Amino acid sequence: MRCIFIFLILLSGVSSADESPLSDRKVTCEEMEKYPETVFKLGDLGSGHSSPNTVDYRCPKSLNQLSFLDRLIGQASSIRSPSRLAGHCTGSIVHAQWRYYHFDLAKLGYYPQGFSSRKRGKTKGMEYFKEWSYHSLYNRSVYKAYIAELEKVRPLLVGWYIETHSISRKVAKKYAENALKVISNYGFASYSYSWKSEELVPFTDQATKGVYANFIRSIDDASDTQKYNSLRRLLVHNASREIIEGLIVPVQEPNSRKRSESILSNAVYSPSNIQMLLAAGFSPDGQNEFGKTALYYAIQFGQYDSAKVLLNSGANVNHTYQLGRESGWDCTGIERWGRTPLMHAAQHSDIEMIKLLLEAGADLHAKDVKGASAIDYAKDSLKQGNENFLAKELERNSFSKPL
């Protein structure tokens, strides 16, 4: 009997030792540390709202727990910004994508030597991101901030790998690049497989850096589409007047039935460039898919002279955000339809800009679809100066419009 009892104890010990850390369908931080090679073979995290396996995604060595990566990871998530209307715009797959992404961040922290990318066939994420950045000044500001942060954290992540995993700098650089690519891919590499980079006048990249010789020689043989695309980029870089004049052709806004960012929006840092575009026939009220015009960008980026040029050229001072077509669903993420330039100024600009708009006839009493007026935008954005000024204007004009 004593022999049988000892045998059962030994048998029990063998069984426990051989048991996989994945057998209970729960992955803990301790298991990531102790059994990384086994734990990170886990391949099924579900395809929708739920997962058959439970994972602790907030373990100490997961990259999402490194304070110096907080900003970059936050920026990538903001760029991705999946719609809250998931059933219509993105599907429940977004929940699964979040899980796989954070599992990769854990793997890159605990077991970077075992990492291999899940991406297949999409290798132009950064190229796509760069092109996207030229479609509005807001996009461009997001792009520049992300690239700056990427360069800032790269040496910090290399140092962390060297210290945490006791590896050479060469290997640490490889791991760091893998990690930064995963973060970037989550942010902006989910573009269409059919995406192709837009056509540009040859040597446009050189021209954006102020080197024009090869670019100038290529203009005459370029198509109007190439000129238009290069023009949009060179306006962002505020290229010389001669270059801008050489690219402007008397073309209409792209496909009037399908909205896109007005090229005027990329020119708001240069009133003279706006004047040239207006003279070439571009509308001061060209608007994107949710109704944003160049005037909103001039307001948002504090370009008073450009705002004056647009207003003097007929830009609608009481334009509103609105969809190009009525639909029960939209995936723009806009909640405040009916936003006017004055509301935009109350939120993003200052008293000088507000005065400019009021002098041009901005409706002080206009309300968006949620019933908010310009003063409410100032309050919500903690713009005390704007709020005080608008309150005085409302008091002075209390009888100018019926309630």
- What does the domain layout of the chain look like in residue ranges? 27-188, 285-325+336-403
pLDDT tens digits, 272-286: 999 999 999 899 999
Q: Output the six-digit token pair for 388.
A: 């005080």
Ranking 7-11, 146-150, 308-312 by mean pLDDT, the lowest is 7-11
The pLDDT of residue 57 is above 90: yes
pLDDT in tens, 142-196: 999 999 999 999 999 999 999 999 999 999 999 999 999 999 999 998 766 678 8
**The pTM of the whole model exceeds 0.95:** no
- A 10 A CB-CB count for 219 gives 18
Using alpha carbons, select from 243, 131, 140, 138 the residue that is nearest to residue 198: 131
- Sequence-ordered list of residues with C-beta below 8 angstroms from that of 235, at least 6 positions apart, any chain: 244, 263, 266, 267, 270, 273
**Quick one: pLDDT band at residue 256, thresholds 50, 70, 90?**
very low
Give the CATH class of 285-325+336-403: mainly alpha
State the Cα–Cα distance between residues 385 and 91, nearest whole angstrom.
43
**What DSSP character marks residue 27?**
E
* C-alpha closest to that of 343 among 288, 385, 380, 289: 380
334-372: b or e for each residue (b if 16 or more CB lie within 10 Å)?
beebbbbbbbbbbbbbbeebbebbbebebbbebebeeeb
Per-residue pLDDT at 36:
96
